[in-house]
Structures are given as C-alpha cells and as structure tokens.
Amino acid sequence: MSAKTIGIIGGGQLGRMLAMAAARLNFRTVILEPQADSPAAQVANHQITAAYDDPAALAELASLCNVVTYEFENVPVGAAETLAASVPVYPPPKALEAAQDRLVEKRFINDCGIPTAKFHSVDSQEDLEAALKDFGGQGVLKTRRLGYDGKGQRVFRSPADSAEGAFAALGGVPLVLESFVAFEREVSIIAARATDGTIVAFDPAENIHRNGILHTSTIPASISDATAKAARQAADAILTSLGYVGVIGIEFFVLADGSLIANEMAPRVHNSGHWTEAAYVVSQFEQHIRAVGGLPLGDAGRHSDCVMQNLIGDDILTVPDWLRRKDALVHLYGKTESRPGRKMGHVTVLTAKT
C-alpha cells in the first residue's frame, strides 16, 4: 500500500488521536495549526504553522494531501470551501455551517424531524427581555458562535434573576435563549457515515458534566432499547441530510418518558466517545479515518462495559494511581501545562459486558 496523506485542521488532542489512528492504517498526516509543537503535531508527519484561514497555508495543505478533515467545529467555513475546490473535505463544509451557529443548528435539527428545547433568537437587550418573558423568566442564554465547555453562557433560573445588561455582558453579539428542559439524564451518540452512505453507530453513552465540562461517560447508558433506537435514528437523519462523511457526536436530553430532546451536534470525533478506544476493536478515531480515507467502516460490537473519566487540570497528578490499576486505559494528550478546566487526558475503566 502506498501511503496517502490526510490533512487535519486543528492541532489539539482530537487531532492527535486522529493522527495516531491514521498511522495505524498507513496514512500520513499533515496538521494545520497556528500553535507550534501542538499535541497533534507531536505524532503527525508534518505541521504547517499558520492561521486556519491563511491562503498560502491552505494552498500548501491542499497540495500535500489527498483529503482534508478537521478536529473542531469552528474552522472558518470559507477556508473549508477554499480547500474543497481542490481536494475532498470531510465532513463537508455545510456541516460546519450547520454546527457553528446555535440558532442555525437548532433549526436544522428541527428540519430533520428531531425536537430541541424551545428557543428564541436574541439580537438586543429588548429581544432578551421579551424572550425571558415568554419562558417565564427562565432559560439559558448562549452566544450563537464559539462557545464550548460552558463558556459564553448565562443561566436565568427564576424571574428574580436580573437580565439587566446581560446582552452587553456576553459581548453584544448574536445570542440564543433556550428554554429549560426537565430531563432525567444526558446521553450522546457517536456515529459515522462512509463515502458510500453506510452508517455505523456506537452505543449511546450516559454523560455527567461538572462546571459545563464533561466529567464522565458511562456505557451502557441507563436508557431503554427504544430510546437508544431513537438516538440512532436521529443520527441517521442528520448524517443523511448533510451528505456527511466521517464521525459525528450528537448530545441529547432524555425525558421522563424516554423521549429525546437534541441538545447539540459536533461534526467531528467527540469527547464523549473517547471510551471507544477501550471498549471496541475500532475506536471513533479509526472509524473517522476509515470514513474520510474511503475504507470500510468498522463493526460496532462492544466487547466491554466501561466508564470514561476526563483528567482536567490537576487531575493529571492522579495518573500514577491510575497506571497501577489493571482495569484502566490511560490516555494523555501531550500537554505540558496544566490549567483549571484544561483537558489533560482521560482514563477508561473496563468491566465485563452486561
């Protein structure tokens, strides 16, 4: 086999794990990332150190690669479209368009026949006050773009919470107010679509967040077969509508009756699917490389139950203890500086499949 080259936009831990999976399948990887010596570049064949939308860097990336993918959803759409004119880009740029703006995303998900929380577009302080009135003074106010891990948000828990100055406090940028959802648990599904339209989904994971950041993912999730089936059907609808190629992560709220409310989607490999490297023969990272590289998708048969835990900030100090355990797979991200809220690695603890 002659090695083909996959370009990866973004040099974080997701790009790192994609590059590692690519190497196992005889692909070379080129990273486009403005930070020198990024986590992904430590294990890739080459890094182009430049802005994601730098014209010369994009031209170089296209010239070096057979296909281009990305590790995060805030890649400039224009950059992805520029690349797509000369080299295949997977997932397609329209997946970025759908996921980068929370308002556009929710409307798209609704158009796929999947319910979301109720929402209002907020473009002024007056819009915010009217939206809060409609939701009884409650809701979650979010920036439409660039928010992640709980950033760019403000929660209104009761009519007593003052909204004065809230629009300006979040930067005076376009916002969306989402209604509260009375849910029992949060789950996510990781699914992949190949270039021939084949779709394979992993088992849904049950997620617990702390301070807006994923803490643990448990598999299997405490949901019914019908709820799991509904999650897979939602993934199928979204992937098919977008003509998607690659792995996607979709987060849901599970209601008391077992029905699902979609929270958000990420057109990339996803933190809540890291456990797949321990509990499946083919991980989400290899699945993504298989999809964008034109290879058959791997089987989605899980061989173990597990709990994946993120190592955040000073959790990195617990690594020696984790390494002493016989049931734990430790994965570190090559980051040399620990900061509060920063994902430094993850650990997956395996148990017998039930």
Q: Name the average pLDDT for the chain.
A: 95
Give backbone dihedrals phi and psi of 307, rounded to 5 degrees, phi first: -130, 125
- Residue 160 — pLDDT band, cuts 50, 70, 90? confident
Residue that terminates a domain, selected from 178, 193, 219? 178
DSSP state of 116: B
- Identify the band that residue 149 occupies on the pLDDT scale cut at 50, 70 and 90: low
222/206 Cα distance (integer angstroms):
7
Instruction: Establish if 122 belongs to a structural domain.
Output: yes
Is pLDDT above 80 for 192? yes
Does residue 107 sit within a domain? no
98 belongs to a structural domain: no
Helix, strand, or coil (residue 94): helix
CATH number of the CATH domain containing 130? 3.30.1490.20
> What's the pLDDT at 340?
93
Whether 135 is covered by a domain: the verdict is yes
- CATH code (residue 203): 3.30.470.20
Tell me how crowded residue 265 is: count the other CB atoms within 10 A of its CB: 27
The CA distance from 199 to 291, in Å, is 10
User: Same domain, yes or no, for 347 and 268?
Assistant: yes
Burial per residue of 30-41, b for 16 or more beta-carbon CB atoms within 10 angstroms, e otherwise:
bbbbeeeebbbb
- The reply to whether 237 and 297 lie within a common domain is yes
Question: Which two structure tokens, joined as six digits, stand for 219?
Answer: 């598999």
Smallest CA-to-CA distance from 311 within 301, 320, 302, 298 is with 320
- Express each pLDDT in 52-100 by its tens digit: 999 999 999 999 999 999 999 989 999 999 999 999 999 999 999 999 9
**For residue 106, is it within any domain?**
no
Indicate whether 167 and 233 sit together in one domain.
Answer: no
pLDDT of residue 136: 93
The verdict on 217 and 309 lying in the same domain is yes
Q: What is each CA distance from 160 to 118, 156, 332, in whole angstroms?
A: 21, 9, 44
Print burial letters for 114-139: b (CB count within 10 Å at least 16), e (below 16).
bbbbbbbebeeeebbeebbeebeeeb
Q: How confident is the model at residue 1 (pLDDT cuts 50, 70, 90)?
A: low
In the chain, beta strands by DSSP E: 5-9, 28-32, 46-48, 67-70, 119-122, 139-143, 153-156, 175-178, 185-193, 199-201, 205-210, 213-219, 246-254, 260-266, 304-312, 328-332, 343-352
**156 and 259 housed in the same domain:** no
Q: DSSP secondary structure string, 244-270?
A: --EEEEEEEEEPTTS-EEEEEEESS--
Report the share of the chain in percent with pLDDT over 90: 90
Order across the sheet with 28-32: list the strands.
46-48, 28-32, 5-9, 67-70
Q: Are residues 142 and 237 in the same domain?
A: no
Give residue 37's pLDDT: 86
Sorted by sequence, the CB contacts under 8 Å of residue 18 that are 6+ apart come out as 6, 8, 29, 40, 69, 71, 269, 285, 288, 289
Identify whether 95 is part of a domain: no
Residue 101, in any domain of the structure: no
- Looking at the 3D structure of the chain, how many domains does it have? 3
Residues 273 and 163 in one domain: no
237 closest CA partner among 248, 226, 253, 227 = 248
Over the stretch 278-320, which tens digit does the pLDDT of each residue have? 999 999 999 999 999 999 999 989 999 999 999 999 999 999 9
- Domain termination residue (choose one: 178, 199, 228): 178
Q: Do 133 and 216 share a domain, yes or no?
A: no
Verify that 196 and 325 share a domain, yes or no: yes
| Beta-sheet pairing, 153-156 with 139-143 | antiparallel
* Structure letter (DSSP) for residue 37: T
Query: What pLDDT digit, counting tens, does each position of 115-141 carry?
Result: 999 999 999 999 999 999 999 999 999
- Contact, 219 vs 206, CB < 8 A? yes
Q: Which domain holds residue 237?
A: 185-352
Please give the pLDDT value at position 318: 97
Taking the C-alpha atoms of residue 70 and residue 80, their distance in angstroms, rounded to an integer, is 9
Same domain, 56 and 13: yes
Residue with tokens 């009217």: 130
pLDDT at 2: 62
Shared domain check, 330 and 230: yes
Q: Which helix (H) or strand (E) holds 2?
A: none
Query: Is residue 80, in this structure, part of any structural domain at all?
Result: yes
Beta bridge partners of 190: 249
Residue where one domain finishes, among candidates 144, 178, 212 = 178
Residues 58 and 128 in one domain: no
